[in-house]
């Protein structure tokens, strides 16, 4: 009679329940694992054998067959070591467990029988609870991650021997995570930035509507400093948003051992990053930087230094807010609802169009440098903000500037208005509006129509640029808590479409 043990794997960022079936029969000693397992699954045979023997149990001599069902789903990772070992011990009557079917087991075994941390434990627990499974035996290192789910009964153990002892005597209470969910701060504040009031306003508008923004200006003008502080004015993560972010980090192996991720992600990859590392994928698919920035910010410093083909792969995630990876086994989806913040110098020497130093670049070099950002990418950026160098006088004036907390309150109020407006629409902020939403929520008066029509015809704006101007204008109106968009909002939104050579794009 085959023994069945519950385990699970993950596909993308979603868990999938797997039945581990163990059958031991007479015959020549063999140990086979079937069910479309990868190399890590196949290699579990030797880990399980050594762990059972070194934990003081007997490894059976006979024909051992392990089936991982459903058989047509590819299994990856070392999650199956523990359920295979427990199944073998039950099948050989070394332990007797009547209610083993109510537990879900997962964990990697060392040769000495220690339980090691596994990736993707959180989405597995979430899927298990949704499937009516509430008891989980897991490695001790996964305790903080798995105890986030309130309805799950977590039993974190350190060795195979401890698992066996628990199954025999049930002498352990479920682990409870008593840490209160509280948002953390990165300690950076906008009042540390001298001057740059126009850029700060642009950052506020971007944060209020979750708009993509591009900062351009001379080296040392403060672009990076501004970008690093945008997190400080974004609304705090909600519990559901934090759970989404933590799931992604759990699958990628970059989980915070302190528990639920409690601050919006701020990802700042180096310009030598590859396309796969940026959007995800690879031989064993994993989330890329765009997914690790989900519900947060992806900051591309010196964006023109990134490989052009690398930037092109951002087109689909920026538009659809998710990454789709097509494989033979199916299509994997990773969420990628992030705010893009880019920073660049206007030319190779960095001083084109500034009064700091004379630009040494030819017109050809400037155009070639800027052309690394293609039209489709520029069309997907809502706000362009020049960051001009500040004078010696401004540095020493010690003018009072707003703190991030003051700006955040306005941003939070604007976001609340958007959530209330879109509660029946399936979106939460202005940047996610589609054509039907623009017609419904971005109605213009006669003066506003004339201003926008003039700009549209004069600068040959694309339809996408037109839509983004309306979205930004809607956000500007929300910051002032206005019901309708007026001409002032349209004019400010148009100002944010000027890029380097003062043409509106």
Extract the runs of DSSP E, i.e. beta strands, from 177-283: 213-216, 266-267, 280-281
Total domain count, the chain = 3
Residue 178 domain-assigned (yes or no): no
Q: Looking at residue 327, which CATH number applies to its domain?
A: 3.40.50.300
What angle do helix axes 160-169 and 81-91 make, rounded to 10 degrees? 50
Query: Can you list the alpha helix ranges (DSSP code H) found in 131-178?
Result: 143-146, 160-169
* pLDDT number for residue 503: 55
Q: How far apart are CA 453 and CA 447, in angstroms?
A: 10
Based on the fold, state whether residues 440 and 382 are members of the same structural domain: no
Last residue of a domain, one of 411, 442, 466: 411
* pLDDT number for residue 338: 96
Cβ contact 354:500 at 8 Å:
no
> Cis peptide before 203, with omega less than 30 degrees from 0?
no
Q: What angle do CA 268, 143, 178 make, to 5 degrees?
A: 95
Based on the fold, state whether residues 200 and 75 are members of the same structural domain: no
pTM beyond 0.75: the answer is yes
Based on the fold, state whether residues 205 and 319 are members of the same structural domain: yes
Based on the fold, state whether residues 92 and 42 are members of the same structural domain: yes
Based on the fold, state whether residues 314 and 218 are members of the same structural domain: yes
Residue 292 domain-assigned (yes or no): yes
Using H for helix, E for strand and C for coil, what is the string for 381-446?
Answer: CCEEEECCCCCHHHHHHCCCCCCHHHHHHHHHHHHHHHHHHCCCCCCCCHHHCCHHHHHHHCCECH
Based on the fold, state whether residues 223 and 299 are members of the same structural domain: yes
Last residue of a domain, one of 169, 198, 219: 169
* pLDDT number for residue 124: 95
* pLDDT number for residue 504: 59
Residue located via tokens 């670049």: 361
Of 285, 283, 351, 362, the residue nearest 323 (C-alpha)? 285
Based on the fold, state whether residues 152 and 204 are members of the same structural domain: no
Residue 175 domain-assigned (yes or no): no
Extract the runs of DSSP E, i.e. beta strands, from 316-407: 322-327, 330-335, 339-344, 383-386
Q: What strands lie across the sheet with 339-344, from one edge to the other?
A: 266-267, 297-301, 339-344, 213-216, 383-386
Residue 416 domain-assigned (yes or no): no
Residue 94 domain-assigned (yes or no): yes
Residue 185 domain-assigned (yes or no): no
Based on the fold, state whether residues 163 and 297 are members of the same structural domain: no
Q: Which domain holds residue 484?
A: 433-498
Antiparallel, parallel or unpaired: β 135-139 and 213-216: unpaired
Based on the fold, state whether residues 113 and 241 are members of the same structural domain: no
Cβ contact 332:285 at 8 Å:
yes
Q: How far is CA 119 from the centre of its chain?
A: 16
Based on the fold, state whether residues 327 and 449 are members of the same structural domain: no
* pLDDT number for residue 288: 95
Residue 29 domain-assigned (yes or no): yes
b/e per residue 140-155 (b: at least 16 CB within 10 A): bbbbbbbbbbeebbbb
Structure tokens given for 275: 């396309």
Residue 315 domain-assigned (yes or no): yes
Please give the chain's pLDDT, 505 residues, in tens: 689 999 999 988 999 999 999 999 999 999 999 999 999 999 999 999 999 999 999 999 999 999 999 998 889 889 999 999 999 999 999 999 989 999 999 999 999 999 999 999 999 999 999 999 999 999 999 998 899 888 899 999 999 999 999 999 998 999 987 666 666 677 788 988 888 889 999 999 999 999 999 999 999 888 999 999 999 999 999 888 999 999 999 998 876 666 788 889 999 999 999 999 999 988 888 999 999 999 999 999 999 999 988 999 999 999 999 999 887 767 899 999 999 999 999 899 988 888 778 898 998 998 899 888 988 898 899 999 999 888 777 777 766 678 999 999 999 999 999 999 999 998 999 999 999 999 999 989 899 999 999 988 888 888 888 999 999 999 999 999 998 999 999 999 999 988 865 555 6
Based on the fold, state whether residues 223 and 307 are members of the same structural domain: yes
Based on the fold, state whether residues 269 and 405 are members of the same structural domain: yes
């Amino acid at each position: 009679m085959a023994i069945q043990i519950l385990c699970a794997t993950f596909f993308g960022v979603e868990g999938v329940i797997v039945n581990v079936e163990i059958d031991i029969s007479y015959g020549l000693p063999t140990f086979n694992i079937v069910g479309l397992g990868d190399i890590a699954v196949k290699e579990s045979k030797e880990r399980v054998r050594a762990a059972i023997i070194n934990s003081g149990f007997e490894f059976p001599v006979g024909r051992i067959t392990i089936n991982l069902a459903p058989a047509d789903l590819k299994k990856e990772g070392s999650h199956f070591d523990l359920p295979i070992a427990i199944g073998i011990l039950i099948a050989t009557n070394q332990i007797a467990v009547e209610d083993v079917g109510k537990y879900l087991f997962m964990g990697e075994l060392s040769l000495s029988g220690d339980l090691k941390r596994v990736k993707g434990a959180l989405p597995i627990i979430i899927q298990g609870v949704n499937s009516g499974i509430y008891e989980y035996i897991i490695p001790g290192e996964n305790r903080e991650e798995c105890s986030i789910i309130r309805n799950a009964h977590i039993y974190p153990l350190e060795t195979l021997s401890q698992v066996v002892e628990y199954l025999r005597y049930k002498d352990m209470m479920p682990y409870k995570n008593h840490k209160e969910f509280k948002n953390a701060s990165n300690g950076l504040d906008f009042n540390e930035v001298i001057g740059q009031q126009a850029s700060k306003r642009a950052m506020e508008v971007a944060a209020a509507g979750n708009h993509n923004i591009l900062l351009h200006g001379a080296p040392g003008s403060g672009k990076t400093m501004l970008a690093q502080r945008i997190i400080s004015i974004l609304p705090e993560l909600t519990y559901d948003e934090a759970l989404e972010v933590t799931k992604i980090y759990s699958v990628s192996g970059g989980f915070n051992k302190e528990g639920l991720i409690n601050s919006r992600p701020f990802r700042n990859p180096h310009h030598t990053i590859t396309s796969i590392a940026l959007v995800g994928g690879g031989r064993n698919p994993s989330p890329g930087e765009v997914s690790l920035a989900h519900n947060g910010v992806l900051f591309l410093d010196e964006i023109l230094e990134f490989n052009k083909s690398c930037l092109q792969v951002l087109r689909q995630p920026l538009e659809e807010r998710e990454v789709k990876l097509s494989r033979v086994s199916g299509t994997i989806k990773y969420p990628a609802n992030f705010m893009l913040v880019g920073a660049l110098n206007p030319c190779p020497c960095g001083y084109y169009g500034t009064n700091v130093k004379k630009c040494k670049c030819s017109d050809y070099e400037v155009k070639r440098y800027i052309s690394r950002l293609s039209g489709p990418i520029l069309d997907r950026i809502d706000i362009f903000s020049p960051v001009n160098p500040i004078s010696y006088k401004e540095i020493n004036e010690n003018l009072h500037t707003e703190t991030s907390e003051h700006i955040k309150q306005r941003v939070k109020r604007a976001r609340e208005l958007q959530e209330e407006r879109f509660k029946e629409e399936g979106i939460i902020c202005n940047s996610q509006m589609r054509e039907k939403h623009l017609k419904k929520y971005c109605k213009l008066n006669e003066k506003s129509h004339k201003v926008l029509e003039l700009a549209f015809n004069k600068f040959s704006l694309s339809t996408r640029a037109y839509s983004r101007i309306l979205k930004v204008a809607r956000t500007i109106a929300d910051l002032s808590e206005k019901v309708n968009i007026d001409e002032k909002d349209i004019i400010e939104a148009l100002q944010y479409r000027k890029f380097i050579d003062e043409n509106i794009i």
